[in-house]
Amino acid sequence: MKATLSQIEAFYWITRLGSFRAAAMQLNLTQPTVSLRIHNLEESLGVRLFKRAGRKMRLTDDGTTLLPDVGSMMQLAGQISARQRLVDPLHGRLRLGAPASIALGCMAELLGTLEKRDARFDVALTIEKSSILQRRLNEREIDVAIVVEPDVKPHVRVAPLGIMKHAWFASPRLSLARRWIGPADLMPHQVFTQPEPSNLMTLVMTWFGSAGLEPKRLGTCDSISVIARLTAAGEGVSILSPAILGTELCLGKVEMLKTRPTLVRPRLYLAYQADKVGHGMKLVIQAIRDCVIGSSLLARR
């Protein structure tokens, strides 16, 4: 077996921080994993590196001998992987925007994915409606954003992500899920959606309009998650993305309605500053793609 960088890295941090646990924290690993790495390193070098001293570990002579070389190695490794960061326009801070409907469905996963792929940023999140995000992109106040049907200046590049999935949802107490539902069937119910101008409102009005109707009781709320809560509580019906109702759907607190006509399906896009494209941006874009596709935000093509 051969020594690997991750083993050496574990050794380095243990000696710097004084304990296996602390090294594990530093490396975003668990303590057993660090133990294992050291075990394997000792195995491959054929030398014991630590000995127990009370409840701490102390370096053996062989371990101490190794120390300077390990230090140089970590420094070199740092140099090698840090080099491109100097020229990466997106270094340090990532200003990321998304509409609430998207953010609720996949933002947690997205941040986790970036972390896991060692794309560390100080993230500045902007959760706003697409129209506002678009304006802030145009004014270069955001690096990347997920938006619906954008119309942006030339310095902002746009790439399609897919077609969003939406549906009408209602509490099972309203007993609406068993049969096909049309605009006339929802007329007696309180409808919740976001205030104008918003994609959700457009969706609602278009759907009712297709039957020449308008919803009779139309409530608005600018927070998607509050709309979801109200719907689950049986206070009304709403158009939402299934992705943000994962828990409620599993628990049976809301039901997806089978509606006719079908809802218009808005297109989802990725928009980003052209002059910030570099390694960091590519990582972010790929992570967003993976997470959006991995979520249930999109209609299967």
Partner DNA sequence: TTTCATATATAGGGAAATCCTATCATTCAA
Partner DNA sequence: TTGAATGATAGGATTTCCCTATATATGAAA
Handedness of CA 27, 32, 35, 39 (dihedral sign): negative
Using alpha carbons, select from 160, 119, 109, 126 the residue that is nearest to residue 290.
109
Query: Whole-angstrom Cα distance, residue 28 to residue 112?
Result: 12
Is 51:58 a contact under the CB 8 Å cutoff?
yes
Question: 37 or 166, CB closer to DNA?
Answer: 37
Among its own copies, DNA, none, partner that 135 touches (CB below 5 to 8 angstroms by kind) = none
Among DNA, its own copies, none, partner that 3 touches (CB below 5 to 8 angstroms by kind) = its own copies
**Cβ partners under 8 Å of residue 75, min gap 6:** none
Q: Which residues bind DNA (CB under 7 A)?
A: 1, 4, 6, 14, 18-21, 28-33, 35-40, 50, 52, 54-57
279 binds its own copies (CB under 8 A): yes
Closest approach of Cβ 25 to DNA, in Å?
10
Number of residues that bind its own copies (CB under 8 A): 33
Question: 16 or 217, CB closer to its own copies?
Answer: 16
Stretch that binds its own copies, among 60-68, 141-149, 170-178, 261-269 (CB under 8 A): 60-68
Closest approach of Cβ 28 to its own copies, in Å?
12
Among its own copies, DNA, none, partner that 224 touches (CB below 5 to 8 angstroms by kind) = none
Q: Count CB-CB contacts under 10 A for residue 211.
A: 13
Question: 27 or 123, CB closer to DNA?
Answer: 27
100-116 vs 224-232: helix crossing angle, rounded to 10: 110
Tokens 């326009």 sit on residue: 89
Residues 80-139 that bind its own copies (CB under 8 A): 80-81, 83-84, 88, 117-118
Which residue stretches of the chain are H helix? Answer: 5-17, 20-26, 31-45, 61-87, 100-116, 130-138, 183-186, 199-209, 224-232, 246-251, 279-294
Among its own copies, DNA, none, partner that 250 touches (CB below 5 to 8 angstroms by kind) = none
Among 23, 38, 70, 227, binds its own copies (CB under 8 A): 70
Query: Whole-angstrom Cα distance, residue 90 to residue 275?
Result: 9
Closest approach of Cβ 47 to DNA, in Å?
14
- The neighbouring-strand residues paired with 170 are 255
Question: 48 or 155, CB closer to DNA?
Answer: 48
Query: Whole-angstrom Cα distance, residue 206 to residue 49?
Result: 70
Q: Which residues sit at the interface with its own copies, rule CB under 8 A?
A: 1-6, 8, 44-47, 62, 65-66, 69-70, 72-73, 76-77, 79-81, 83-84, 88, 117-118, 278-280, 282-283
